[in-house]
Amino acid sequence: MPLLRIFAPQINSEFTLIFVMMNKFSIIASFFLLLLLGSCGSAKKVAYFQPIAIDETSSTIVTSVQHEAVVMPDDVLSIIISGLDPAAVLPFNLPLVSVVNPTSERSTISMGGGGSLQGYLVDINGNIEFPVLGTLKVGGMKKSEVAEMIKEKLIPYLKDPIITIRFMNFRVSVMGEVARPGSFNIPNEKINMLEALALAGDLTIYGKRNNVLVIRENESGEKTATRINLTSDEAFRSPFFYLQQNDIIYVEPNKTKLASASAARQNLPVIISSVSALASTVAVIIALTDK
């Protein structure tokens, strides 16, 4: 009993400290509970294309017209000339190669077998160097326009040539509040916003669906940005619904994500100090118990 009287004030002090710490943890737990409840947004902020009636078995949606991609600097084009006489078209096609010179203006893609198909890198002035024909200005032109121009220039050399043009580096990038942000190569050169977001794993619950940013660069290097509301069927009619090469989609975080990030930063010192104090208290209690 005398030993208990000696340590009683210290034990009472420690239990008082424990009580205070428990109150702190209760406050912190309550804060995060309120934050969690606040994150449960309404369906109107989460669901896509809400004006489309859910009880309709089918609905006609008018979309924007898909624009043919325009050739821009740093694009890599595959241009293949074919015709009835393989020997005649051979000088107008780049040879298959197995070694790539990093300083060359021509890039390659793997085609399997023993070689790779070369591509034409569009320089900063929008030009490519074409066999026999020399320098061709292709920047700002559509693929169909480039094919028609080359066909006209080949008239003195070939009869009824067939020109096939493909983008070898057609890609779009998705950033922000999506499951898997990144850049994605598009082999068929056709993709819309929904397909790009699907490649990125869709928006997270923290993504702002009514304000998705699309950034596009033209052949002059000028960037244009627009915002699309995916909660409305008006998104289908946006000229940015169908993406072009090198488009960037950015999904902003909503208020809940911003609030949680801010709260975490503000309460981090409190949490650290609380855990430290609790650890000290437990250590003291263990030490007193062992005596």
Among 47-51, 112-116, 133-137, the range scoring the smallest mean pLDDT is 112-116
Q: What is the pLDDT of residue 117?
A: 77
pLDDT tens digit string along 122-171?
999 999 999 999 999 999 999 999 999 999 999 999 999 999 999 999 99
pLDDT of residue 20: 47
What is the full DSSP assignment across 195-240? HHHHHTT-B-TTB-TT-EEEEEE-TTS-EEEEEE-TTSGGGGGSTT
pTM listed for this prediction: 0.66
Hey, what CATH class is 76-167 in?
A: alpha beta
Contacts of 45 (CB under 8 A, 6+ apart): 209, 210, 231, 254
| Predicted pLDDT at 201 | 96
What are the structural domain ranges in the chain? 2-38+255-290, 43-66+170-251, 76-167
Q: What is the pLDDT of residue 51?
A: 62
The secondary element (H helix, E strand) that includes residue 260 is helix 255-290
Can you give the pLDDT at residue 13? 53
CATH number of 43-66+170-251: 3.10.560.10
Is the pLDDT assigned to residue 174 strictly greater than 80?
Answer: yes
